[in-house]
């Protein structure tokens, strides 16, 4: 296939996208993502996103060719969520689709929206279901750890012992900023009322553990996150990670593995993810593809990548292959 014949990587016309999340309904895959108008002029200047960033929506049957459906969820003036929206995730419960999302504005926190068809969404309530204005406490290695939520709620798609679990990009209270990043949990019976659960990960390596995802395969639990440094890089991190990882810079795609939901999650084998075709990408998602086999999608540039086939090595670590349909 000639390069000019390859379908382009997807981004909505006139938009920059990042931080994808996906859900499958029958044979149709739904992609949700953050988007801002390209007219803001400088993607690297995050302050320009304020007031513009919202959730976009597209569908596909092959994870390659996408149809844009425009904005799915936006901030609204003179409401509690009046500034912008950041990353979220979706689960099905009680016959409907529920989206948790990062709400920014007068009352920052985890917002909740509901849909019957994944197309039309309605925000639930008059404020966040998990406010970021207060600290919470969970157990980490048998000891209480106070934390504050930052962003990126990931709701595990199936209940565990009757509880819906949400994993949150958080920071430990009182820790040095550059080492404060942790992944915490909240749990709920009805998605409306939440209480703290265990802390899943606190490596003291990163400022933030961004946009987590949790899935299980062959008796192992996989915890993905984007390790982020915006200020100092901790000496502990540089001393404990391989030199190859330290050279990756201030954003690292990570997968830790455990034998049980509550952990402990460990960096096993080559726990940092690089794409086999040499492209750059940040914030990955793993999901069953059209043939039922796992694939990885990411944001590359400001577009949705091709699906990368995922295999699992003897120790459980992810092994990626080049996409069957290459990027143009």
Using CA atoms, how far apart are residues 300 and 302, in angstroms rounded to an integer? 6
β-bridge partners, 254: 225, 272
C-alpha 204/C-alpha 240 separation (Å) is: 11
245's enclosing H/E stretch is helix 243-246
Q: What is the mean pLDDT of residues 37-59?
A: 84
Q: Could you tell me if 304 and 20 are in contact, meaning their C-beta atoms sit under 8 angstroms apart?
A: yes
Question: What are 256-292's pLDDT values in tens digits?
Answer: 999 999 999 999 999 999 999 999 999 999 999 999 9
- Rounded CA gap, 149 and 76, in Å? 22
- Domains detected in the chain: 134-272 (2.115.10.20)
Q: Which two tokens stand for residue 5?
A: 């014949």
Q: How many CB atoms lie within 10 A of CB 118?
A: 19
pLDDT for residue 51: 82
**Full-model pTM:** 0.96
Tell me, what's the pLDDT at 2?
Answer: 54
Question: Using 50, 70 and 90 to split pLDDT, how confident is the model at 4?
Answer: low
Residue 30 main-chain phi, psi, to 5 deg:
-110, 125
Q: What integer pLDDT is reported at residue 116 of this predicted model?
A: 98
Band of residue 100 on the pLDDT scale cut at 50, 70, 90: very high
The three-state secondary structure class of 7 is coil
pLDDT recorded at residue 41: 79
DSSP 8-state assignment for residue 240: H
Neighbours of 181 (CB within 10 A): 27
């Amino acid at each position: 296939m000639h390069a000019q014949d390859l379908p382009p990587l997807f981004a909505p016309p006139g938009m920059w996208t990042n931080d994808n999340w996906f859900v499958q309904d029958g044979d149709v895959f739904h992609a949700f993502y953050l988007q801002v108008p390209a007219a803001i002029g400088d993607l690297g200047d995050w302050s320009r996103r304020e007031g513009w960033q919202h959730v976009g929506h597209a569908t596909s049957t092959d994870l390659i060719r996408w149809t844009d459906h425009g904005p799915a969820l936006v901030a609204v003036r003179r409401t509690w969520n009046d500034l912008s929206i950041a990353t979220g995730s979706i689960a099905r419960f009680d016959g409907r689709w529920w989206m948790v999302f990062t709400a920014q504005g007068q009352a920052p926190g985890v917002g909740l929206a509901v849909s019957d068809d994944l197309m039309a969404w309605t925000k639930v309530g008059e404020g966040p279901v998990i406010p970021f204005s207060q600290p919470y406490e969970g157990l980490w290695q048998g000891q209480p750890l106070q934390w504050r939520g930052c962003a990126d709620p990931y709701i595990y798609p199936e209940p565990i012992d009757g509880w819906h679990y949400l994993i949150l990009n958080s920071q430990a209270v009182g820790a040095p900023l550059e080492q404060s990043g942790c992944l915490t949990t909240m749990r709920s019976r009805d998605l409306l009322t939440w209480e703290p659960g265990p802390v899943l990960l606190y490596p003291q390596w990163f400022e933030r553990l961004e946009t987590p995802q949790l899935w299980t395969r062959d008796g192992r639990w996989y915890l993905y996150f984007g390790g982020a440094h915006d200020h100092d890089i901790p000496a502990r991190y540089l001393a404990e990670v391989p030199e190859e990882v330290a050279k990756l810079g201030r954003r690292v795609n990570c997968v830790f593995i455990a034998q049980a939901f509550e952990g402990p999650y460990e960096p096993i084998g080559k726990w940092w993810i690089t794409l086999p075709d040499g492209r750059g990408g940040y914030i990955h998602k793993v999901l069953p593809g059209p043939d039922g086999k796992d694939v990885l999608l990411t944001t590359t540039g400001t577009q949705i990548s091709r699906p990368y086939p995922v295999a699992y090595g003897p120790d459980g670590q992810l092994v990626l292959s080049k996409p069957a349909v290459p990027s143009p």
